[in-house]
Amino acid sequence: MTAERIGSYPIEREIGRGGMGVVYLGRDTRLDRPVAIKVLPEAFASDPERLARFEREARLVASLNHPNIAGIYGLEEDGGHRFLALEYVEGETVAERITRGPLPLDETLDLCRQVAAALEAAHEGGVVHRDLKPANIKITPAGDVKVLDFGLAKSGSGAASNSSIDISHSPTMSLAVTGAGVILGTAAYMSPEQARGKAVDKRADIWSFGCLLYECLTGRQAFAGETVSDMIARILQGEPEWNALPAQTPERIRGMLRRCLEKDSRRRRRDIGDARMEIEDVQAVRVSSSSVAASGAAKTGSRRMFEWVRLAVVALLAAALTWFVPRALRESVKLEPTRFEIPQPDGFHLNTDGGSVKLSPDGRSLAFVARDSTGSRQIWLRPLESTLARPLPGTDGVWFAFFWSPDSRHLAFVGNDKKLKKIAVGGGDAEVVCAVKAWRGGTWSRDGVMLIAPTSNGPIYRVPATGGEPQPVTTLDSTRAETAHRFPQFLPDGRHFLFSALPARDGKFDIYVGSLDSPERKLLLSAGTGVTWAPPGHLLYARDGKLIAQGFDAKALELRGDPVSLGDAVTGTNGTGGPIASASRSGAVAHATDQPTNQRLAWVDLSGREISSIPVEPGPYSLGSLSPDDRRVALVRTESAGASGLWIADLERGVVTRFTDEP
């Protein structure tokens, strides 16, 4: 065993140390995946009891199979050293997340629901964690929760459960002399019976779960203290500062939290599954209340001069298109699409163009651009398995048309500083790839190549994802008076790509297939918007306010069959040549949808106080321009299909007439 290799695993770096060993980031070369290698320290190697504990950890963790529990790949030996090959979980720990402040209520509920589900599965398998704390819980880039480190876990059945436990045997505690602060991190989450050295069962985990829930809501430990003795005294005799809970914390959550933190284990909540169900009930009520509030807001929306926008996600399980159903099954199986909407975050407005809504390639997360009341824009992430969206720090001022890395771990975007950057969705600083003059889209291949349109007018360029100087890969065709190539998108082979050519002709853009290996290109079709490649074999674009799917063979580079409508879609990117939809390898499609609401006109003073109403019939209008004599106003009227036109309202007569005949 060396620092460069442990067993058959090449080692990249050390990623952590704990009471039960040192953890390294390694590589499983056979399955081409990262692994966490946990090695028992030399000081414990000769201790039969600690070695037995290490082996017991392997058996316990291996017995658990749950999406919220980090898995184990194997228990191995190298040169007399025992080590575990564990699932490597990317992302930040809950402890790291809390350093930025308390979690919002909905984020806390979703996180703790997943932790409760993990503990429930462990308890049903007879396993007690015994060291649950924020540092042992990770949030993946997709927003999933993974409970780590069952190093203190023990079987909840048999004589072992009834034996007295000496906390000096805690591996975390035993390293206190060499790891400053380690003992504090564990002691703060000990149950009273664990602190007293008594026998523990699953109710000890429920206590620790209560400490976790409290800390997520408040940003502070429930039983903080300067020393371990102070902490244990607070655990045994003190109470959390209940007034520190946010005012909006539901009463059911407050009551559940108090039951989890009952010092008498006989009065404590006995089953973590009950806590999970209570959280789910509260979440359901909050979702229902949000829907009612949204409905009420729509009824009063006529008083606001903006449009509400939502994201529509269509999970094309097969749909009427029978995209993914083998031909032999089409007559016997009829699968329908699953459609649902994602509302914009409270206090924020979604961008409506297709380049601002992007599904991750693995289909697990949705990223979109939203702006606040000041107009400041930021990328938001919404795992599709979650009910919450969260802003991605470091993406302030983002322009539209950001794009994902092929492994769904990074996003590339351009901000107000006119630099193309990439940032990990799990958190961290953005890295500069190159400078741009303007921005009209990009794409990222598995080979580490980015294609970008870094100017408003000009060809497509390529640049290494690691950074460098962009080089042109397409040439404008002067015989067709081309001014720009925009919105490239790689096809599966990583060599060919789609792009739009400007200017539009008769309201349609020419869509081409280009190649990294040749200056030749092939004209595919002309469409009202740019196109999106939707695996396994379709192109998506807009026509007459509809989302259209056109069969496409990505190997032969040829269209197949007739186009099919998937329903209404936003066509607000008509003038740019950009796409209106996003698709994942899993078969999901996401796009923004306008929801025009009736607006009424009124005179207001500079403070916003209404002076008088205007006798103009409400409609799906946006305010255009007031005439100099204050007698007329030009309005933009948006229809449900997305088309818009100019109308003139006579403010004295209360009459609105169409001004333009074309969109």
Contact criterion met (CB below 8 Å) for 326 and 624: no
Amino acid identity for residue 328 in this structure: A
Burial environment of residue 611 by CB neighbours within 10 A (0 to 12, 13 to 18, 19 or more)? exposed
Residues 6+ apart with CB under 8 A from 373: 347
Residues 6+ apart with CB under 8 A from 445: 406, 451, 490, 494
Nearest in space to 542 (alpha carbons), one of 552, 560, 528: 528
Measure the CA angle with vertex 70, ends 385 and 367; round to 5°. Answer: 30
Rounded CA separation 192/230 (Å)? 13
Instruction: Give me 194's structure tokens.
Output: 């664990």
Strand order across the beta sheet in which 496-505 lies: 484-490, 496-505, 508-515, 522-527
Contact criterion met (CB below 8 Å) for 465 and 434: no
Measure the CA angle with vertex 634, ends 630 and 637; round to 5°. Answer: 145
How many CA atoms are closer than 13 Å to the CA of 560, on its beta-carbon side? Answer: 13
Residue with tokens 């509260």: 282
DSSP 3-state assignment of 558? strand
Residues 6+ apart with CB under 8 A from 81: 1, 6, 39, 40, 45
Q: At what angle do helices 251-260 and 202-218 cross, to 10 degrees?
A: 140
Active-site residue set: 131
Q: What residue spans of 501-637 are helical by DSSP H? A: none
**Reduced 3-state DSSP string for 505-526:** ECCEEEEEEEECCCCCCEEEEE
Residues 6+ apart with CB under 8 A from 332: none
Instruction: Give me 564's structure tokens.
Output: 């099919």
Rounded CA separation 175/237 (Å)? 26
71-99 b/e with 16+ CB inside 10 Å = b?
ebbebbebeeebbbbbbbbbbbbbbebbe
Amino acid identity for residue 520 in this structure: E
Which CA distances in Å does 290 have to 89, 151, 342, 387, 393? 33, 41, 12, 12, 25
Burial environment of residue 661 by CB neighbours within 10 A (0 to 12, 13 to 18, 19 or more)? exposed
Contact criterion met (CB below 8 Å) for 428 and 447: no
Residue with tokens 């580490």: 448
For the chain, give the number of residues: 663
Q: How many C-beta neighbours within 10 Å does residue 526 have?
A: 15
Contact criterion met (CB below 8 Å) for 158 and 60: no
Rounded CA separation 647/637 (Å)? 7
Consecutive H or E run containing 237: helix 228-237
